[in-house]
Amino acid sequence: MKVATWNVNSLTARFARVEAWLATRNPDVVLIQETKQNDTKFPTKELADLGYESAHYGQGQWNGVAILSKLGIEDVARGFGDDDPEARIIAATCGDVRVVSCYVPNGRALDNPHYVYKLQWLEKLRDLVAARDANQSIVVGGDFNVTPTDFDCYDPSLFIGATHVSEPEREALRALEATGLTDLTRALHPDEPSYSWWDYRNGSFHRGWGLRIDLLFVDEALLAKASASYVDRDERKGEKPSDHAPVIGEFSL
């Protein structure tokens, strides 16, 4: 089973690339973030033509998350079931695995109300994951907008006092892991930076100025079956790329 997570930064603007990528990489399950579409605009039929069932939770101009699957898609849950107006989380069961696609709030700045929203959002995610069916494997993936450690940041000295590196954010990721999950990329590649995002500005990609903020957390059963994890850096190159590259995990089920 091949599972990918990809913040596409507008599925409208990116669909030609997404289609080509699906045909080339042929993932079984894809967690998408930032579709920036409402549900009527989401390309359900075009994805079906490529062999994918899909579920989308959109809100229009901003946010929007989806799950694509060749293994079936059941028991879809959109949002946390509270009054959060932002479309940032969708879950579904694909084959025998529970799959959660997350677009964690950016936070903007440590003194911004959006940072408080980010930490509260991560707490709700932890609670949702902690309440899962322990007999079912789970993948919790997406754009977390947090670097787990300084090693996941190209130059921590430039991020002092900024979001994406603060201790409360990192503690929130550790609390998520404490429910029994492991950061797949870091488990398989402890010594490779494996950045997944590069700012569009400053030629950041070519200078290697990246962050690892797109993560796949898996339970112990899936970790034991994990055979590969990699970043598809080619998707950050060429015409009209997203600022994020897909992160892929492979499992021998």
Which residues lie near DNA (CB under 7 A)? 9-10, 12-14, 36, 60-62, 105-106, 108, 114, 155, 158, 199-203, 207, 209, 240
**The 53-57 sheet, strands edge to edge:** 53-57, 65-69, 29-33, 2-7, 247-251, 226-231
Under 8 Å between Cβ of 243 and 200: yes
Cβ at position 189, least distance to DNA in Å = 23
Cβ distance to DNA smaller for residue 72 or 207: 207
Q: Alpha carbon of 45 to those of 51, 54, 128, 251: distances in Å? A: 10, 9, 30, 28
Cβ distance to DNA smaller for residue 45 or 201: 201
Alpha helix (H) residue ranges in 75-219? 113-130, 167-177, 184-188, 204-207
Cβ at position 180, least distance to DNA in Å = 29
Cβ distance to DNA smaller for residue 44 or 182: 44
Cβ at position 1, least distance to DNA in Å = 29
Under 8 Å between Cβ of 217 and 140: yes
Please indicate whether residue 143 is annotated as part of the active site.
yes
Cβ distance to DNA smaller for residue 100 or 153: 153
Tell me the C-alpha distance between 90 and 33, whole Å: 10
Tell me the C-alpha distance between 90 and 174, whole Å: 21
Please indicate whether residue 195 is annotated as part of the active site.
no
Of the listed 52, 57, 115, 143, which one is catalytic?
Answer: 143
Of the listed 57, 103, 115, 195, which one is catalytic?
Answer: 103
Q: Indicate the DSSP class of residue 191.
A: T
Cβ at position 110, least distance to DNA in Å = 14
Q: Which of the residues are catalytic?
A: 103, 143
